[in-house]
Amino acid sequence: MKKLSSNRVFGGEHAQYSHYSEANKCDMTFAIFLPPIALGKGKEAQKVPVLYWLSGLTCNDQNFMQKAGAFRAAAELGIAIVAPDTSPRGESVPDDPDKAYDFGLGAGFYLNATQPPWSAHYNMYDYILNELLPSVQQTFFVNKHSAISGHSMGGHGALTMGLKNPDIFTSISAFSPICNPVNCQWGQKAFTHYLGDDKQSWLEYDACHLLQNASKQVPILIDQGTDDDFLEEQLKPDNLIRVAQMSDYHLTLNMRSGYDHSYFFISSFIDDHISFHAKCLFADE
C-alpha cells in the first residue's frame, strides 16, 4: 500500500493511498479520514469504527472528501471515513466505446461483472468487501464496526452491499440513490453490459428486490431532493418505499424540498447521516 498524499484536517488526517487489487486486476486508489482519537491526539489512541462512502457516476475517491464537509462531525464523534474509487482504472481497463458517463470508467456500479471484457476488471463488489475492508482493518487503527453510505450510483451500492451483508454493516444510508436499477435506464444499460441478458441475475444488485427478501433488518436512512433532475426517471425512491411497506421493513426517507442532486445537497445533511451511523456503530459500547 502506497501513501499518495496526506492533509491535516480537524485534528485528524485525510490521506490517499493506492494498492493493487486482485479482484480488479489493476491499481486502485482510496481515501481515508482518521479522526484525532485514532491518531492519539490529546489522549491515548483508540480504535475507531469506519463509515464507507461510495460515490456516484463520474466521481472518484476525492469528490466526497473535498466537497461533503463531513470531517468536523466525524472528528468529533470519532469515526473514520473510507472512500474508494468508483471503478477500476488504467490502460488495460476497458471503457464505454462511446465514452459515455454512465458506463465504464467511473461507473462500476459496485457489482461483479460476469460478461467479457468487463468481467476481467469490473468487480467492485468483491474489491470492496474482500480486499478494501480487510486491508483497512489490518493497516489502520480501526475496529471491526463498519457502516456504509453513498450517493446516486454509490447510494445504490450502499443499499445493495448493506442489504446483502447485514452482519458486516451496522447501518446503511444514502443520498439520492438509484433504488430500482432494473427499472431505470442507468441500471438497465450497466446491467446488460456487466451481467448479460439474464435479468434474474440483475436482481442480486437491485435494492428493491433485496429489501423485499431481507432476512435481517438493518437501519436505513435516505435523503432525496425534490428538485433532483433524475428523481422520476432514474432514482425511483417511491418503488423502494412501496416494497418496504409491503415487507414491513422500517426505513426513513426524507424528501428535502428544493434540493437537487449535487454536493450542495449532500453537505447540507451529511452531519445527520454521520450522527445516524454513530448511534449504530457505538451501540455496543
Tell me, what's the pLDDT at 40? 79
User: The CATH number of 2-282 is which of 3.30.1490.20, 3.40.50.1820, 3.30.70.240, 3.30.450.40?
Assistant: 3.40.50.1820
**pLDDT over threshold 80, residue 285:** no
Per the residue annotation, which of 14, 156, 209, 261 is the catalytic one?
261
**Mean pLDDT value of segment 189-200:** 97
Tell me, what's the pLDDT at 211? 98
Q: CA-CA distance, 10 to 27, in Å (whole number)?
A: 29
| pLDDT tens readout for residues 131-144 | 999 999 999 999 99
**Mean pLDDT value of segment 78-104:** 96
Q: What pTM value is reported for the model?
A: 0.97
Segments in the chain forming alpha helices (H): 36-39, 62-67, 71-77, 124-126, 133-139, 153-164, 185-195, 199-202, 207-212, 237-247, 263-281
Per the residue annotation, which of 85, 206, 223, 228 is the catalytic one?
228
Whether 228 is catalytic is: yes
**Mean pLDDT value of segment 84-103:** 95
| pLDDT tens readout for residues 23-79 | 999 999 999 999 999 997 656 889 999 999 999 999 999 999 999 999 999 999 999
Per the residue annotation, which of 152, 171, 173, 176 is the catalytic one?
152
Q: Say whether 77 sits in a helix, a strand or coil.
A: helix
Tell me, what's the pLDDT at 127? 98
Tell me, what's the pLDDT at 221? 98
Average pLDDT, the chain: 96
What is the domain partition of the chain in residue ranges?
2-282
Residue from 219, 48, 23 nearest 129 by CA: 23
**pLDDT over threshold 80, residue 271:** yes
> For residue 165, what is the DSSP state?
-
**pLDDT over threshold 80, residue 251:** yes
Whether 223 is catalytic is: no
| pLDDT tens readout for residues 160-190 | 999 999 999 999 999 999 999 999 999 999 9
Per-residue cell: 71 = 470531517
| pLDDT tens readout for residues 107-134 | 999 999 999 999 999 999 999 999 999 9
Whether 5 is catalytic is: no
**pLDDT over threshold 80, residue 11:** yes
